[in-house]
Amino acid sequence: FRFKDSLAEDLRRADLVISHAGAGSCLEALEKGKPLVVVINEKLMNNHQLELAKRLHRDGHVVCCNCSTLVETLQSMDLSTLKPFPPGQPEKFALFLDKVVGFQ
Q: How confident is the model over 30-61, as pLDDT tens digits?
A: 999 999 999 998 777 677 788 899 999 999 99
**Can you give the pLDDT at residue 100?**
85
DSSP state letters, 6-66: --HHHHHH-S-EEE---HHHHHHHHHTT--EEEEE-TTSTT-HHHHHHHHHHHTTS-EEEE
CB 31 within 8 A of CB 12: no
Nearest residue to 53 via CA among 62, 45, 30, 44? 62
pLDDT of residue 77: 97
Residue-level pLDDT at 48: 78
Query: 85: closest CA among 17, 38, 35?
Result: 35
Residue 34 has a CB neighbour count (10 Å cut-off) of 18
Q: Is residue 103 pLDDT above 80, yes or no?
A: no
pTM: 0.80
β partners of residue 18: 37
Domains, the chain, in order of start with CATH, read 7-101 (3.40.50.2000)
Residue 99: per-residue pLDDT: 84
In this prediction, residue 87 carries a pLDDT of 85
Please report, rounded to a whole number, the percentage of residues in the chain having pLDDT higher than 90: 59
